[in-house]
Chains A and B, each alone.
Chain A
Amino acid sequence: MNLVKELIAGASRDELIWLSGYIAGAVAQEGATPVATNGVAAAANGAASAAANSTAPSAASANGASVSKITIAYGTETGNAKKLATDFAAQAKKKGIQAKLVGLEQYRLNDLSKEEYFFTVISTQGDGEPPAGAKKFYDHIHQGELKLDRLKYSVLALGDTAYPLFCKAGEDVDQQLQKAGGQRIVDLRKCDTNYEDEAGSWFDEILRRLDNSAPTGNGSGHSASTANSASAVLGNGATKTGGKKIYTGTVLTNIVLNDRGSSKQTHHVEIEAEGVSYQPGDSISIVPTNPVTVVEAILALTGADPARVFLHRSEEAPLSHLLRHKLNIVYLPERVVRKYASIVRQDIPETRIGLLDLLKIYPVKDATQFHEVIGILEPIAPRSYSIASSPEAHNGEIHLTVVKDTFCVNGETKHGLCSDLLSQLEPGQTVGFYIHPNSRFRLPAPDKDIIMVGPGTGIAPFRSFLAQRDSTGATGKNWLFFGDQHFTTDFLYQTELQDWTKTGVLTHLNTAFSRDQAQKVYVQHKMQKHAERLYSWLEAGAYLYVCGAQEPMSFDVENSLLAIIRQEGNKSVAQAESYLGELIEAGRYVKDVY
């Protein structure tokens, strides 16, 4: 009672009204009549109500739920958020709530200020970024001018605890909507990669808030069954960590696909993966380890005790283990460099740099400082690679196509940590990985035609597609556009593609080798060359996939695609864009670009 008195004493009038409504609503949950709820809610003038609230008569709800219309928006990269949002919309419909399902890339930003119930499912990419399609929406809610007083919202954030900025995009959306005046009716829920349970319970809670009836069995049942299937096949060496099943596979083969004289080094790696289930189009994520030489150099330089135990993300581990397996020390992002700078109290230019170099150029003054530095380091981010094998054709194995990443930092040639690691794997060594499902990048029905644009390592998922379709006897036609630098040295999987052409699995194979002639020829040029056929395939219902470098390839390819649609379909610029939009909507134009 004292507590209550304290509360009341500190509350404003609005707050008291709200409180009374809240309590009434809480009581109503136990089965009180909606009439009482309505009455109290009506008094809660303009205040957010945790109780179901309806400003219009709702005929739709079976037990008189007061909310009839909500918007469920999703920001998705691989399709998971969209799938969840779609499920939620279906659940809402069953409960008599009309849910408008919309992708954030298509969401009309002006509508936001008119929204009343707005639920967002949004995933986080890479370094805390929203999905590419959701960027427009994301930027919109970050500009200061927004007034969303009517808005009642909640955010479900999907992410991966392996990454330092876990669910950051979701967090940002949650914060920004509040700053703009929106009212949070269910707290932000952050999900790791094994998200089904959490996501299900989040939406259950929303439904509870929206409607005074008990949550339907469907939500949790769905989650349970999903959880069951997700945990179904735990193969050899699988361990459950932080919600992800981490497998350990033995390397069977590691060859360089490029011939002598190539300026590239693309590896084809085959990993034993008995019992690992995946689908063509999925990726695997690998957490690379740091090079032993760098770790030893750091320990030598700082004189730190490698056996000293630290607490890192609720795990205790010796320093040497952390430096080798857990902490990102080779390419520190700017935000970490800034923290380092403030620890050692030095001016450090904002650039990506390794910890060893930092310690050399801006040394720590003692062990304590070094321990502080350990504290600001982030976990090693996993890298994803499209799976190049097919479950049907390459049973028990996972194949990867990995190009050794080479870039320049301060005039020095450096190699990508993970690709470097993979390139050096020898048969017999093991590698830890987990499956990163790519639910939007999937083969269609077996009788559908597919067009694949996959230059360089972008060919990986298409090798999976072709091998799968070959194995399952799919009747749909298959057309591949491949490109790289030189025909004689860089024609990845050439003999396999030739064999598929001979047996008819590969209906058309067009190639573009950019440096074999004076002018650069890329895959989009070959697409244009066959514009008529390409357009007729699309008209006949073909699915088009693009995989590989985002910049500039996927943009160039998309521009060419639009030009082809304009030209062959006799369409205006807007019509062509709309045509492409329809393809996207129907899931017939999908990208996996990086």
Chain B
Amino acid sequence: MSDSKNLSATEGIKQRSNALRGTLAESLLDETTNAIREDDQALVKFHGMYQQDDRDRRDERAAKKLERLYSFMIRLRIPGGFFTPEQWIATHHVAGEYTTGVIKITTRQTLQLHGILKSRIKPTLKAFNKVHLDSIAACGDVNRNVICTAHPMQSDIHEQVHAYAAQISEFLKPKTHAYYEIWLDEEKLTDKKEEEDPLYQDRYLPRKFKVAIVIPPNNDVDVFANDLGLIAIIEHNMLKGFNVAIGGGLGATHGNAETYPRLATVIGYVPADERLFKVIYEVVTIQRDYGNRSDRKLARLKYTLDKYGVDWYKQELAKRTGFELEEAKPFTFTDREDYYGWHQNHKGLWYYTPFVENGRVLDDEQVALKSALLEIAQTGKANFRFTCNQNLIVADIKKKDKAAIEAILHRYRVIGHTEAASAIRKNSIACVALPTCPLALAEAQRYLPVLLGKIEPLLERHGLEEENIIIRMTGCPNGCGRPYAAEIGLVGTAPGRYNLHLAGDHEGMRLNRIYKENLDEAAILKELDLLFWLYQKERITGERFGDFAWRQRWFKQ
């Protein structure tokens, strides 16, 4: 069993919280501050929210004797990233009324809204509730949004596999009634037994837990970056079962060698029946019981796995489920991408994936994406499917409706914008970083597009502008933008400075490594210029940039 002494402070907060209620209700009523109490800040994450403040404004506001400009980020729970047009319309209006207005598609197929004042949280969640959306467990020490290979053309049985996302999400959802009472003003429970939670008990997990379902050969979800990855094994268009991979997680802390990014280890195979859910359940309970609750930096399942060993975990799993996993079935990943442009699935339905830079849906001088999507949603002729690359798919369009949708996309210049975006840009991810993330050491979302504008000419110069090189930037080493699984990773260390990571593969099965540290923009460009030159000069035909870098040993030994 894990250490019961020296529990981290968060453990106490969870246990005292009366099933995640804390003093949230009182915090909401405090009219002297837009912040919530400290303990409640930890608890509100379980409700899908973070308290943030605008870091750019801190000094000026302090001089004016004003508190920090606090606001809340709300992240929705959207298993598999599937959204109806009604839900999009509601989100569009909520975003306009209560938030910064920008709808942010995350790297795990869900949406985030920023800038929500404390007094507007309830109206926002109530508005979402009306279209059957909630933010339960979108953050916090629980199972997060369940992601699944996004594009239906991936497989004839995509729908069947995709359905597991919602099922697993419900299955692993906390039983507490707190969310409904606090945000939706529903009746308080009289019988506490109704929210008894045998899975999470009163202490929840030691840390976040992420589940991903993937349909090979496209590793669009980055399945090995998750605590629990389920690789769909399909034979003759029939879902047989899933390979189970555990222990993925990319977060690390600069200068703390005990922390490191890790890709999940495949531990076996389970058929697609009730045994699947037993396996899922017990993978979680083992982490719940053995995960490190003293040091949150070492609390993810990957550390539990490495501490006790893969064999031990498999044995414990067999003990708890009552059966052994079968041997893993073969699978291959050949790609890790979103399918931009128009595509059809096996039923003849149409799908359009526009390029959404860093997942930010808004209207600007280049493209009026937000208006376009509203108009499309209002036709009712398309669903929306979010991808794990911060994009979305305008989806499930009947053949007869394709022209109308296309006309809208053209009118708002969405198609032009998508076609004009360079290959490297379309393969980029940046986390939010400044000004709202308190952990950011450097810019990401606000800077990567600018930097790409300087990298594109370098690629052109070396004839590489068509190459799908995966490049990702984060403002800190926590890895929310999956930089360690990129071919080029830029991890912020200080304002304007980044560590350069290379040699990760294209499919997401090999992490990259640090190549050079603390580079500023000029240094980054200088390095890439040289590396691109060498790449085009010496690569084997068809060899990916990440593989070439690996071959050249472009990383610190």
Nearest CB of chain A from residue B53's CB, rounded to whole Å: 11
A353 CB-CB contact with B under 8 Å:
no
Q: Is B464 an interface residue (CB 8 A)?
A: no
- Measured CA separation A487–B67 after assembly (Å): 11
Interface flags for B44-73 (1: CB within 8 Å of A; 0: not) read 000000000000010011111111010000
B27-35, B164-172, B448-456: which lies at the interface? B27-35
| A491 touching B63 in the complex, CB below 8 Å, given contacts A511-B31, A511-B32 | no
Question: Is the CB–CB distance between A516 and B119 below 8 Å?
Answer: yes
Is the CB–CB distance between B63 and A494 below 8 Å? Answer: no
Chain B interface mostly helix, strand, loop or mixed? loop
Contact for A488 among B31, B62, B65, B117, CB less than 8 A: B117
Within 8 A of B (CB), among A461-519: 487-488, 491-498, 501, 509-511, 516-517
B117 and A257 within 8 A (CB): no
Tell me if B32 and A495 are in contact (CB < 8 A): no
- Chain B residues with Cβ under 8 A from A517's Cβ? 119
Q: Do A501 and B32 touch across chains, with their CB atoms under 8 A apart? A: yes
Using CB atoms, name the residue of chain B closest to A487.
Answer: B34
Query: Given contacts A256-B64, A257-B64, A258-B64, is CB(A488)–CB(B33) below 8 Å?
Result: no
A-B contact count (CB 8 A): 46
CB distance from B69 to the nearest CB of A (A): 6
> Which of B31, B60, B117: most chain A Cβ within 10 A?
B31
Closest to B118 in A: A487
- The answer to whether residues A259 and B65 also contact, given A487-B34, A509-B32 and a CB cut-off of 8 A, is no
Q: Report the separation of the CA atoms of residues A28 and B69 in the bound assembly, to the nearest whole angstrom.
A: 79
A268 at interface, CB cutoff 8 A: yes
Contact status A495-B31, CB under 8 Å: no
- Bound CA span A498–B119, Å: 18
Which residue of A is nearest B31, CB measured? A511
A509 to B29, CA, bound (A): 12
Contact (Cβ within 8 A) A510 B64: no
Contact B34 A497 (CB under 8 A): no
Query: In the assembled complex, which residues on chain A have CB atoms less than 8 Å from the CB atom of B117?
Result: 487-488
Residues of A within 8 A of B62 (CB): 495
Q: A459–B119 Cα gap in the complex (Å)?
A: 24
Contacts of A488 in B (CB 8 A): 34, 66, 69, 117
A255 within 8 A of B: yes
Q: Across the interface, do B61 and A497 meet the contact criterion of CB distance under 8 Å? A: no
Q: Is the CB of B67 within 8 A of A494?
A: yes
With both beta carbons as reference points, the residue of chain A lying nearest to B35 in the complex is identified as A498
| Contact between chains at A491 and B119 (CB < 8 Å) | no
Give 1 or 0 for each of B19-32: 1 = CB within 8 Å of chain A CB: 00000000000011
**Are the CB atoms of B65 and A257 closer together than 8 Å?**
yes
Do B63 and A255 have beta carbons less than 8 Å apart? yes
Q: Which residues of chain B have C-beta atoms less than 8 A from A497's C-beta?
A: 32
Return the chain B residue nearest A258 by Cβ. B64
Tell whether, in the assembled complex, residue A494 and residue B66 are in contact, meaning their CB atoms are under 8 Å apart.
yes
Whole-angstrom distance between the Cβ of A393 and the nearest chain B Cβ:
15
- Contacts known (A259-B61, A488-B117, A516-B119); A495 close to B67, Cβ less than 8 A: yes
Residues facing A in B284-313 (CB within 8 A) are none
Residues from chain B with Cβ under 8 Å of A255 in the complex: 63-64
Once the chains bind, are B65 and A510 in contact (CB under 8 Å)?
no
Chain A residues, Cβ within 8 Å of B65: 257, 268, 492-496
Contacting residues, chain B, for A501 (C-beta < 8 A):
32
- B119-A495 in contact (CB<8A): no
Question: In the bound complex, what is the Cα–Cα distance between A258 and B119 (angstroms)?
Answer: 20
Residue pair B64, A259 in contact (C-beta under 8 Å) = yes
- Given the known interface contacts A259-B61, A488-B117, A495-B62, the answer about A510 and B67 at a Cβ–Cβ threshold of 8 Å is no
Q: Within the assembled complex, what's the spacing in Å between the Cα atoms of A255 and B65?
A: 10
Interchain CB contact (< 8 A) of B31 among A256, A496, A510? A510
Residues of A within 8 A of B61 (CB): 259
> Which residues in A have their C-beta under 8 angstroms from that of B119?
487, 516-517
Q: Which of B110-141 contact A (CB under 8 A)?
A: 117, 119
B50-102 with Cβ < 8 A to chain A: 57, 60-67, 69
Alpha-carbon distance A122/B67, docked complex (angstroms): 46
A268→B117 CA distance, assembly (Å): 26
Cβ contacts under 8 Å, B32 to chain A: 494, 497-498, 501, 509, 511
| Residue in A256, A494, A496, A517 whose Cβ sees the most chain B Cβ within 10 Å | A494
Residues of the B chain whose Cβ atoms lie less than 8 Å from the Cβ of A509: 31-32
Inter-chain contacts of A492 with B (CB < 8 A): 65
Contacts of A496 on B, CB cut-off 8 Å?
Answer: 65
Query: CB within 8 A of B66: which of A259, A510, A511, A516?
Result: A259
Central interface residue in B31, B66, B67, by most chain A CB within 10 Å: B66
Given contacts A501-B32, A511-B31, A516-B119, contact A495 B63 (CB under 8 A): no
- Bound together, the chains give a CA A510 to CA B32 distance in angstroms of 7
Q: Mark A532-566, 1 if CB is under 8 A from B, else 0.
A: 00000000000000000000000000000000000
Q: What's the minimum C-beta distance from A253 to chain B, rounded to whole angstroms?
A: 10
List, in ascending order, chain B residues with CB within 8 A of A498's CB: 32-33, 67
Closest to A489 in B: B66
Within 8 A of A (CB), among B457-475: none
Closest to B117 in A: A488
When chains A and B are docked, how far (Å) is the Cα of A405 from the Cα of B64? 19
With A and B bound together, what is the CA distance between A493 and B64 in angstroms?
8
In the assembled complex, the CB of B459 is this many whole angstroms from the nearest CB of chain A, namely: 40
From B61, B65, B117, residue with most partner A Cβ within 10 Å = B65
Distance (whole angstroms) from the CB of A454 to the closest CB of chain B: 15
23 contacts between A and B (CB under 8 A): A255-B64, A257-B64, A258-B64, A259-B57, A259-B61, A259-B64, A259-B69, A268-B65, A487-B117, A488-B69, A488-B117, A491-B66, A492-B65, A494-B65, A494-B67, A495-B67, A497-B32, A498-B32, A498-B33, A498-B67, A501-B32, A511-B31, A511-B32
- 19 further A-B pairs in the complex, CB-CB below 8 A; given A259-B57, A510-B31, A517-B119: A255-B63, A256-B64, A257-B64, A257-B66, A258-B64, A259-B60, A259-B61, A268-B65, A487-B34, A487-B117, A488-B69, A491-B67, A494-B66, A495-B66, A495-B67, A496-B65, A498-B67, A509-B32, A511-B31
Binding site for B on A (CB under 8 A): 255-259, 268, 487-488, 491-498, 501, 509-511, 516-517
Closest 3 CB pairs of A and B: A511-B31, A495-B65, A509-B32
